């Protein structure tokens, strides 16, 4: 396995005080999809901007395909494709014109550019839409166009900063299909940032959970889930109930209040602990509304390592993305 990206103590401090990225050490293998998962302000975009030479690090180093992002920035740029978090396509041009503009920027010869643009449009099922103005595109069409804009220069590595933010579930899974196709058919290493745990779980071979500019844990999604050791039983009661009393049930590692009348109980093994919990409920004559058992998911991993639920971060961002798209439509 060849490491295509390596960072050593990569750091960025804005205005001498905001430590956006704090001694980041990552290695990314050639050909893989690597996920950076973290809440708002975790430092994901700042990391991507440094790796793509748009932003210079305050300290530390990073190499991309053996090239230093500072000393060899021009060479690095030639082998990268970037799909930034913010939308970039020109709304007063057609989809195809946008792609042609990028091809021109990278000096792709005319014939070759046409061939590549045609095949990229076909891949994301946008051939027909490509002759229309971008301002008339739906949010999903717009994101598909943005995705292939990053591929016009035939990059070895593609950076996708929140590729599906604010998209509906259906369009999101369509985007996942394209991302897999890009990895497999075009032989591209992909670095992806996301708020969506399902997305990282579905796509990434390795993931780093980042928060406050630091990596909290790295591994395959399966390794991270396995590291949690334990299942979670969530019980919602009809009336107010404190978690405290449930801590002494046999097999319970931890019981915490989580939301109105709801207790989150971590146990070694749900199958072994459920009878004891059900007994407790009936002995205390408690009425429950719902009881769910979850095997560790990336949600649980995130909660465990950051101390909070990533979902609470979503609405603001989804709203941000919606506003972006509204702006696009106007
Ligand atoms: N140009 C800037 N000047 C000053 N501070 C900045 C700048 N860009 C980002 N920051 C700060 O650096 C931190 C990391 O921001 P960054 O955009 O990298 O996070 P992120 O993980 O991409 O967040 P999001 O999920 O919202 O996109 C935040 O505290 C942010 O406010
Ligand atoms: Mg960001």
Q: Kindly report, residue by residue over 139-164, the tens digit of the pLDDT.
A: 999 999 999 999 999 999 999 999 99
- Choose the residue to mutate in 24, 35, 44 for probing ligand 1, maximizing ligand atoms within 8 Å of C-beta: 44
44/280 Cα distance (integer angstroms): 44
What pLDDT does 315 receive? 44
- pLDDT (average), residues 121-136: 97
What pLDDT does 237 receive? 93
- Choose the residue to mutate in 42, 193, 199 for probing ligand 1, maximizing ligand atoms within 8 Å of C-beta: 42
Gap from CA of 31 to ligand 2 centroid (Å): 23
**Token pair belonging to 124:** 């994301």
326/330 Cα distance (integer angstroms): 6
What residues have CB less than 8 Å from 292, skipping those under 6 apart? 233, 234
Q: CA quadruple 281, 283, 286, 288: dihedral positive or negative?
A: positive
**Token pair belonging to 314:** 């979503």
CATH fold for domain 3-225? Rossmann fold (3.40.50)
- pLDDT (average), residues 263-292: 91
Mean pLDDT of all residues belonging to the chain = 90
Q: Give which of 286, 275, 276, 292 is closest to 232, Cα–Cα.
A: 292
What pLDDT does 312 receive? 60
42 close to ligand 1 (CB < 6 Angstrom): yes
2 touches 16 (CB < 8 A): no
Q: Give which of 54, 71, 59, 52 is closest to 19, Cα–Cα.
A: 59
Q: Helix 95-105 crosses helix 110-123 at what angle (to 10 degrees)? A: 140
Q: Is the pLDDT of residue 207 over 90?
A: yes
40 close to ligand 1 (CB < 6 Angstrom): yes
- pLDDT (average), residues 186-197: 92
Q: Report yes or no on whether pTM surpasses 0.85.
A: no
DSSP state of 249: S
In the chain, which segments carry CATH 3.30.70.980?
229-295
Q: Is the pLDDT of residue 330 over 50?
A: no
Q: What is the pLDDT of residues 211-255, one digit of tens each?
A: 999 999 999 998 998 888 788 899 999 988 878 888 999 889 999
* Residue minimizing CA distance to atom 26 of ligand 1: 40
Q: Which atom of ligand 1 is nearest to the CA of 49?
A: 18
- Its CATH architecture, for the domain 229-295, is 2-Layer Sandwich (3.30)
313 alpha carbon, closest ligand: 1
In the chain, which segments carry CATH 3.40.50.300?
3-225
């Amino acid at each position: 396995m060849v490491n295509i990206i390596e960072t050593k103590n990569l750091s960025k401090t804005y205005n001498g005080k905001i430590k956006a990225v704090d001694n980041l050490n990552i290695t990314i293998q050639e050909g893989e999809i690597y996920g950076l998962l973290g809440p708002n302000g975790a430092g994901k975009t700042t990391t991507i901007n440094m790796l793509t030479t748009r932003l210079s690090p305050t300290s530390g180093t990073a190499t991309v395909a053996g090239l230093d992002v500072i000393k060899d920035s021009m060479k690095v740029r030639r082998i990268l494709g970037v799909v930034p978090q913010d939308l970039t396509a020109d709304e007063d041009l057609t989809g195809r014109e946008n792609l042609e503009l990028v091809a021109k920027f990278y000096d792709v010869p005319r014939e070759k550019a046409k061939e590549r643009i045609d095949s990229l449009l076909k891949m994301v099922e946008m051939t027909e839409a490509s002759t229309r103005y971008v301002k008339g595109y739906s949010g999903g069409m717009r994101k598909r166009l943005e995705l292939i804009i990053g591929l016009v220069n035939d990059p070895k590595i593609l950076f996708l900063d929140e590729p599906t933010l604010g998209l509906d579930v259906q369009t999101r899974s369509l985007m996942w299909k394209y991302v897999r196709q890009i990895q497999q058919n075009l032989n591209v290493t992909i670095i992806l940032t996301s708020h969506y745990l399902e997305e990282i779980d579905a796509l990434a071979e390795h993931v780093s959970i980042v928060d406050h500019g630091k990596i909290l844990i790295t591994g395959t999604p399966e390794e991270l889930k396995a590291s949690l050791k334990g299942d979670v039983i969530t019980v919602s009661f009809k009336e107010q109930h404190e978690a405290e009393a449930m801590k002494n049930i046999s097999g319970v590692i931890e019981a915490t209040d989580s939301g109105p009348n709801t207790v989150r109980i971590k146990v070694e093994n749900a199958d072994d602990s459920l009878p004891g919990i059900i007994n407790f409920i009936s002995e205390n004559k408690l009425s429950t509304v719902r009881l769910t058992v979850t095997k560790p998911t990336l949600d649980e991993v995130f909660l465990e390592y950051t101390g909070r639920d990533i979902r609470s971060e979503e609405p603001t961002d989804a709203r941000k993305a919606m506003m972006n798209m509204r702006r696009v439509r106007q």
